[in-house]
Structure 1
Amino acid sequence: MACGVTRATLPAMTYFPPPAEELRFLDAELRQLDARRAQLLARRAWLVTALQSAAHGPEPAFAPRPEASAPRVQNVLLLLGGVLLTIAATAFTLVSWGHLGIAGRAAVLGTVTLATLVAPLPLLHRGLRSTAEAVAGLGLALTVLDAYALHEAALTSTDGTAYAAVATTALAALWAAYGTTLGTLRLPRPAALVAAQLPLPLGAIAADAGAYGSTAALLVTAAADAAVALLTTAPTLRSVRIAATIGAYGLGGWGVLAATWLSWTAPGPSAAARAAALLTFASAITLTAAWRIPTPPLAGPTDAPTEADPVRATADSAIPGTTPPGFHARTPAPAIPMFRPASLVTANALLAGLLLLAAVGGVLRVTVPDGWAMVGELLCAIGLLAGIRGRMPERVRFGLGWAGVGVQAFALLWALPLAAVVVLGPFGLPAHPWSGAPVDARAAVTAGTPWPPDAGPGLVVFMVAAAALALLVREPVWRPRALTGSAVLVWAAVLAVPATLQLPYTVDLLVTGLLTAAALLAPLRPPTGVLLALVTSGDLALLALADRTATLTVLSALTVLFAVASARPRLAPVTAPAALVYATALACATGAAAGWQPQYTALLVLAVPAAATLLAPRFDRQARLGTEVTGAAAGLVSLALAVTDAPLLAVVLALLGVIAAATAVRPDRRPLGLVAAALFVLAAWVRLAAWDVGTPEAYTLPVTVPALLVGAWRRHRDPSARSWTAYGPGLAATLVPSLVAVWHDEGRPRPLLLGGAALAVTLLGARHRLRAPLVLGGSVLVLDALHELAPYLVQVADALPRWVPPALAGLLLLAVGATYEQRIRDMRRVREVLGRMN
């Protein structure tokens, strides 16, 4: 082809493969060439390495790795050198200072300090920056020693604290100027900022400014640090920004703690106002910092809050008609080396809001009566939520909103004891039932608990918080939940009103009953309403125990109320069992009011499981199960009431068996037929016991006969059913107790009758080839025969010589051993045969 010859001009015997096949062939050849080339190159590299090793001698197994980098070693050496020189200078100043005169001291101080501070200039010019940093640090330390030496030499009469305040001011200015002059050094300016933390606190102590003045000095210094941290944006001043941030949070934290303590312990309005001014100033600093901290842009706008952003839903909706730009709460903000800006903004805003509310609370604590300060604090928190509007950054609004919500939650916790007493107080009434109507509602709920001292303010807290939730939250996502929370708070407030106002006992019952009905009918998010109704109805039933008429009236009303509410499928799983519970209590109360003995009241209680059996099929699966379980529990109550009277207990068991049998008629409740049978048997046994019947067959035959009939019916329906399942329980129910009675009975009729019955069962089992009758009947027959022959066997055993039992045991062991040996020999022969075959 390369010579211009076409395929048509070649002889007919020449073969040219198709292009695809020829391409595959060429690719295979090239791959082989590449593989061979790689092998040769690897061999060549190994040979070169071997020759180099022979020329230079053997290399060590591994080269030791340095444990520290060269710059790190350099920094450590420079740091140690600077520390040692500083120690030497300190020792000289403290020990050798007194041996020099005034001129010598001045010459030494001036020369050494000036030389040390100037030395970094040529070092920086030569590029030795780390060494220059170390020398500059030594120079800064020398200036501190110079200030100390000056005080000890010439200014000993001045106040040490005041001198320290002036000296730190001068040192801060000197170091800042020095650092600005030598701009490439990183140590002097942060050191100047650290020194600047001391003048104001030391000056306040020197001026005897007291706790308020010292706290103000701390907060002013923290404000200056915050300003430096926020205004210092140059990358080269990162160390200054870090030092300022640490100073702002450190001194600001101490200042906030001191101001909070002053507010908490303020004895009067004047002291509280001064502490509030300090807290307000701290709040302003924190809020300004939150406002000024730069944050990255949010991921994207949205008009609705997310599930993780409940505070925004409250804060943003505080102003009807205004919806600020939203954000995705789960969007992570980019991080800088020290913190996440968005989280820091939110934390500062939260702290600012809490400090502002704490300032107001401190003033309210000493100006309004006890307890009402919390109401004022709650109103301020609600006002804060309503006031976060305008062009405020969203993260700031988010933090302030959380501050308002946190104070509201604290107020509710403060008022919680009132709700706890109202809800749990009636549990002390069952100890003294029907002891007479209390004088008022408060006496009814404080039967076993003390009344909280701040009940009035607590009631107002519930009402105000409920109104805030209902009015302020407007976001579609959170409004249903807010309305539910508001309804719960209203419920707690209404429940506490009668006791708080000491209304009459009957008014308390009426209010609690109406509240129960309202909770059932209220369109609250499930299952809030029905749970509130259950709690309220329980309190109502306990409150009614103080009076007999009130008990019967309330239990009747509750039974009817929950029964009617069960017509609503949404409520039936809870209200239907509740209706049965109150019906059971009503039956017990009716029997007690009529003077009946408990066993007769049990017959009245049986109406509850009967009603449950009739009503359960009308409900869905969940409500049906709860109804049946409650009916069964009522049945147990009736048994407990009748347990002291055996004849009536037998009647109750029989009636419960009838109820269980009626339930078992339904296809989905067939297993209850076994329960019904067990109840009937128990009823028969209790009746026999009441008649003092001691013959065991009287108890077992009523079980055996129906059990055998059921077994025969099952075998007829399912011929594959095993005899142990069909006939075993029925036969064992009579044969085993009778056999036990035979061994404890000295009479003759029972062994003969039992033997005859066992023989008949054995023959029937053999006739029909059934294992259960054959084994049970034969076993009982043998044991019965042994019982009859036992005296003779004892006589024979007494007549035998003493050596016979050991001899028989030895013969048995020999027989077993011989059989075992024979089996081993047979196995060995089989193994030999198999070996020869292989």
Structure 2
Amino acid sequence: MPCEVTRPTLQGMTHTPPPAEELRLLDAELWRLDARRAHLLVRRAQLVGALQSAQRVQPVSPTPVGPSRPEATAPGVQNVLLLLGGILLTIAAMVFTLVSWGHLGIADRALVLGAVTLTALGTPVVLLRRGLRSTAESVAGLGLALTVLDTYALHEVTFTAADGMTYLATASTVLSAVWVAYGSALAALPAATPLRLPLPAALVVAQLPLLLWGFATGGGPHTITAALLLTAAFDTVVALRVSVPSVRLVAVGGAFGTGGAGVLTTGLLSLSATGPSAAARAAALFLLAATIALGAAWFTPRPGLATGSATVGGLLLATGAGGVLRTWLPGDWLVPAYLACGIALLGGVRGALPEPVRRGVVRASAAVQAGAVLWTLPAVGVALLGPASWVWRAWSGAPADARDAATADALWPPYSATVPLVLAAVAAVAALAFRGTERHPRALTVALTLTWAAVMVIPPALELPYTVGLVLYGVAATALLGPVTRTATGLALLTSLCLGFLSLAAEPATLAVLASLTVLFAAAAWRRRLAPVSAAASLVYATGLMCAVGASLNWQPQHTALLVLVVPVAAALIAPRTADPAVTAAVEATGAGAGLLAVGLAIADPPLLALVLALCGVIAAGTAVRPGRRPVGYAAAVLFLAATWVRLAAWDVATPEAYTLPVTVPALLVGALRRHRDPEASSWTAYGPGLAATLMPSLLAAWGDAHWTRPLLLGAAALLVTLLGARHRLQAPLLLGGSVLTLDALHELAPYLVQVTDALPRWVPPALAGLLLLALGATYEQRLRDVRRVREVLGRMN
């Protein structure tokens, strides 16, 4: 805030002093503040220095070393000790039972067994009441292990005649029940924390009874598999109903383990079934497994687990039903049978199912359909890629049928006659299943692709006649060009490629197919069905048609090149009449590619190559006339130049000027035109390339020429260029002409200079060079002095 200084008056009132007085007072106050601040800064520096000095002289006391950090916690040490103690006691009991058992009588044996087991099982009760839960866990584990040893001892003494498998099944049943009762009794103690070991251990033992009873009763594979699945069902119920985390964890592991083993065994039984009866029994096991999975999905509160279980259940249902149908159908219908079962799953989602279960069943159906589509890929690949092998055996004769045409260098997959049916069925499901949803457009794209694949596989799968296959592919390509979609157009291109390769088997087919494809894609481009792609495809097939016509007429490749040039001409005429820049670019690029092909075909015949290059230059020049295509003129010039060079080479012309002058003259004309339009343009840019194109090759030729004509003409030309450069004050002609003139003169005087050099003493050449340099320096200095005088005169005039 601004500071206002007031002072009292005689009347006791205050007023603001004049500005000059107030400014004086403010300056005085600021001066006092600056002085006080300077004093405080000095004192601060003194205190900081004193503290730093005290720290430098203060001895450094050693850092006290505290006790090392323990590497194990007290509860961890306790648990390890208790675990080791329980293990050692269990080992001791095993040694006693196996080794020292025979030294005691029957009464002593019973007394020892009962006393030790009851003591081990009863001690945890006392320990739990005193709060020693970990110790109680160890002792309880010892007691459970002793019960297992008791069952072994009873078998060795009392039940020696019992069947081993039956005794194991009975013992496992009894032990699991006793351990459950024991764990439940300990959990029921007042003010006692339940033990974690007995109930999970009982559930682990409970995995054995059904399986062991199955073996004990002499059950076959189906019985053993049923025992595994029922055990998995029991584990699933326990996992869903019991809230103890340790018990639930064991139950989930048991359900996955026994259930997975049961499903794997069921799958093997289904695959090995040779009759309807065996397949039906395997299907019943699949149904049991599916019921378990779907029941778990229905009652589990976790949506992700419910969806996964429902997916597994749906797959099991489809697999079981497909296994029954497999025994009634031939090999070609195996995959369609499983596919039908997978599609039938979609009918079950219309009921009152929870959303996670519904989602899982839909995923199961999708998985079956995806597997069926994967099964079709080998046949689809052969149908699409196999015709390409006709490129190497073109016009060798039409094959017997469409399968022979597709498998000229490949093998047709076995049991693939129903591939079109599988693809069509999945396409129908994709088109109908997502109606009214946001994924319907993508589903329609998938359905279109699958339908196209089915159509492409029909001729080789059904072994249709060769001509019928060509017609079917042509109809498919025509139909695909109807929808205005990228997918449809791309599939149409693939179909046309396959059709074109197949047509190479016979000459009439090749001509007819290429002509039809040219017209088809031209019509599609005219109707703006993705016109850039269609127009380019039409010109590509037209190029192929020209090559086929030339081959049909028994023309040599160099003569066929003239026929191929029809395509660049057509492209040059069509491009200006298109309204879409993308179409124009596509047409021009395709025409350029056809021109390159023509050049490649004519490369073996230099005279015809020169003609082809000249015609390409005419086409490029005609294109360069259009607005926006001026840079094509450079390509036209290059083509004309190449045509000239090829023609000269064909005439065995070895004179370099014959090759360089056609470059120099147009280049100089262009340079002169540029200088006329832009007087500031550099002479190096305008005339340098054109002059160098002729002078440099001629100079090289002159140095190797023993006659006088070429050096004389080159010297005259270089002198003329030098004089023109000096006349118009242009660096490029002056320096290039002068350099060439000098080198040409040196070439002519070289023999005489050598003679003179040999005749003169060795000090003469350096002396002459030095005098020349001195003369040049003096002349240069004289010029600088003259310039300086002129500048002084002008300065005085100003």
Task: Say whether the fold is shared (TM-score over 0.5).
Answer: yes
Contact 2:481 / 2:529 at 8 angstroms: preserved in 1? Answer: no
Contact 1:229 / 1:242 at 8 angstroms: preserved in 2? Answer: yes
Q: Aligned-pair distance for 1:14?
A: 12
Give the secondary-structure state (helix, strand or coil) at the position aligned to 2:417.
helix
Quote the Cα distance in structure 1 between the aligned partners of 2:223 and 2:755.
113
Between 272-281 and 571-580, report the one with greater CA deviation.
272-281
Aligned to 2:516: 557
Aligned to 2:775: none
Q: Does 1:185 align with 2:207?
A: no
Aligned to 1:585: 544
In the alignment, structure 1 segments of 5+ residues that lack a partner are 1-9, 16-56, 295-340, 813-838
2:387 pairs with 408, 412, 426, which one?
426
Q: Does 1:377 align with 2:384?
A: no
* Correspondence 1:156-235 to 2 at 5 A: 156-183=160-187, 184-233=194-243
Quote the Cα distance in structure 2 between the aligned partners of 1:119 and 1:404.
57
Q: Aligned-pair distance for 1:132?
A: 1.2
Contact 1:569 / 1:619 at 8 angstroms: preserved in 2? Answer: no
Contact 2:165 / 2:215 at 8 angstroms: preserved in 1? Answer: yes
Quote the Cα distance in structure 1 between the aligned partners of 2:755 and 2:100.
121
Aligned to 1:614: 573
Q: Aligned-pair distance for 1:58?
A: 8.5
What letter matches 1:571 in structure 2?
Answer: L
Q: Does 1:654 align with 2:614?
A: yes
Quote the Cα distance in structure 2 between the aligned partners of 1:259 and 1:566.
58
2:410 pairs with 449, 456, 480, which one?
449
Quote the Cα distance in structure 1 between the aligned partners of 2:740 and 2:610.
32
Aligned to 2:49: none
Between 499-508 and 607-616, report the one with greater CA deviation.
499-508
Aligned to 1:3: none
Q: Aligned-pair distance for 1:123?
A: 1.1
* Correspondence 1:315-714 to 2 at 5 A: 341-523=302-484, 526-617=485-576, 618-714=578-674
Quote the Cα distance in structure 2 between the aligned partners of 1:62 and 1:780.
93
Between 593-602 and 768-777, report the one with greater CA deviation.
768-777
Contact 2:481 / 2:489 at 8 angstroms: preserved in 1? Answer: yes
Q: Aligned-pair distance for 1:696?
A: 0.6
Quote the Cα distance in structure 2 between the aligned partners of 1:542 and 1:427.
5
Q: Does 1:757 align with 2:757?
A: no
Contact 2:613 / 2:642 at 8 angstroms: preserved in 1? Answer: yes
2:263 pairs with 250, 256, 259, which one?
256
Query: Alignment identity in percent?
Result: 60
In the alignment, structure 2 segments of 5+ residues that lack a partner are 1-10, 17-60, 188-193, 771-798
Contact 1:386 / 1:472 at 8 angstroms: preserved in 2? Answer: no
What letter matches 2:369 in structure 1?
Answer: Q
Between 762-771 and 710-719, report the one with greater CA deviation.
762-771
Q: Aligned-pair distance for 1:702?
A: 0.6
What letter matches 2:628 in structure 1?
Answer: D
Q: Aligned-pair distance for 1:430?
A: 2.6
Quote the Cα distance in structure 1 between the aligned partners of 2:214 and 2:615.
90
Aligned to 1:282: 289
Pick closer, same or farther for the CA change 1:720–1:350 going to 2, 3 Å.
farther
Q: Aligned-pair distance for 1:489?
A: 2.4
Aligned to 2:776: none
Give the secondary-structure state (helix, strand or coil) at the position aligned to 2:109.
helix
What letter matches 1:537 in structure 2?
Answer: S
Pick closer, same or farther for the CA change 1:147–1:727 going to 2, 3 Å.
same
Q: Does 1:270 align with 2:270?
A: no
Quote the Cα distance in structure 2 between the aligned partners of 1:347 and 1:730.
78
Pick closer, same or farther for the CA change 1:793–1:263 going to 2, 3 Å.
farther
Quote the Cα distance in structure 2 between the aligned partners of 1:261 and 1:139.
41
Q: Does 1:780 align with 2:756?
A: no
Aligned to 2:57: none
Deviation track 1:427-481 (CA, whole Å, cap 9, x = no partner) reads: 2223332333333333333333233332321121122222222333313312222
Contact 2:507 / 2:552 at 8 angstroms: preserved in 1? Answer: yes
Pick closer, same or farther for the CA change 1:121–1:455 going to 2, 3 Å.
closer
Q: Aligned-pair distance for 1:760?
A: 2.8
What letter matches 1:121 in structure 2?
Answer: V
What letter matches 2:152 in structure 1?
Answer: Y
Contact 2:419 / 2:461 at 8 angstroms: preserved in 1? Answer: no
Aligned to 2:45: none
Give the secondary-structure state (helix, strand or coil) at the position aligned to 2:481.
helix
Pick closer, same or farther for the CA change 1:230–1:800 going to 2, 3 Å.
farther
What letter matches 2:195 in structure 1?
Answer: L
Q: Aligned-pair distance for 1:343?
A: 1.8
Between 552-561 and 590-599, report the one with greater CA deviation.
590-599
Between 760-769 and 162-171, report the one with greater CA deviation.
760-769
What letter matches 2:313 in structure 1?
Answer: A
Structure ranking higher on relative contact order (CA contacts 8 Å, 6+ apart): 1
Q: Aligned-pair distance for 1:290?
A: 0.9
Quote the Cα distance in structure 2 between the aligned partners of 1:663 and 1:417.
47
1:83 pairs with 65, 87, 100, which one?
87
Q: Aligned-pair distance for 1:61?
A: 4.7
Quote the Cα distance in structure 1 between the aligned partners of 2:444 and 2:91.
70
Count of residues in Structure 1 that have an aligned counterpart in Structure 2: 709
Give the secondary-structure state (helix, strand or coil) at the position aligned to 1:455.
coil
Deviation track 1:786-816 (CA, whole Å, cap 9, x = no partner) reads: 3333434555676789x999x98xx99xxxx
Pick closer, same or farther for the CA change 1:719–1:165 going to 2, 3 Å.
farther
TM-score, normalised with respect to structure 1? 0.80
Q: CA RMSD of the aligned region, Å?
A: 2.7
Aligned to 1:825: none
Deviation track 1:201-238 (CA, whole Å, cap 9, x = no partner) reads: 122223332322222111111110001111113xxx12
Deviation track 1:57-100 (CA, whole Å, cap 9, x = no partner) reads: 99825554333333222222222222222222222222222222
What letter matches 1:687 in structure 2?
Answer: R
Contact 1:661 / 1:673 at 8 angstroms: preserved in 2? Answer: yes
Contact 1:762 / 1:774 at 8 angstroms: preserved in 2? Answer: yes
Quote the Cα distance in structure 2 between the aligned partners of 1:692 and 1:59.
98
Contact 2:79 / 2:134 at 8 angstroms: preserved in 1? Answer: yes
Pick closer, same or farther for the CA change 1:192–1:789 going to 2, 3 Å.
same
Q: Aligned-pair distance for 1:485?
A: 2.2
Contact 1:572 / 1:619 at 8 angstroms: preserved in 2? Answer: no
Quote the Cα distance in structure 2 between the aligned partners of 1:62 and 1:726.
88
Give the secondary-structure state (helix, strand or coil) at the position aligned to 1:521.
coil
Between 593-602 and 533-542, report the one with greater CA deviation.
593-602
Give the secondary-structure state (helix, strand or coil) at the position aligned to 2:526.
coil
Deviation track 1:313-349 (CA, whole Å, cap 9, x = no partner) reads: xxxxxxxxxxxxxxxxxxxxxxxxxxxx222111111
Q: Aligned-pair distance for 1:649?
A: 1.3
2:688 pairs with 728, 731, 735, which one?
728
Pick closer, same or farther for the CA change 1:779–1:61 going to 2, 3 Å.
farther
Pick closer, same or farther for the CA change 1:83–1:11 going to 2, 3 Å.
farther
Larger Rg, first or second structure (1 or 2): 2
What letter matches 1:509 in structure 2?
Answer: L
* Correspondence 1:22-41 to 2 at 5 A: none
Quote the Cα distance in structure 2 between the aligned partners of 1:796 and 1:219.
115
Quote the Cα distance in structure 2 between the aligned partners of 1:177 and 1:211.
33
Pick closer, same or farther for the CA change 1:195–1:730 going to 2, 3 Å.
same
Quote the Cα distance in structure 1 between the aligned partners of 2:273 and 2:702.
92
Between 388-397 and 435-444, report the one with greater CA deviation.
435-444
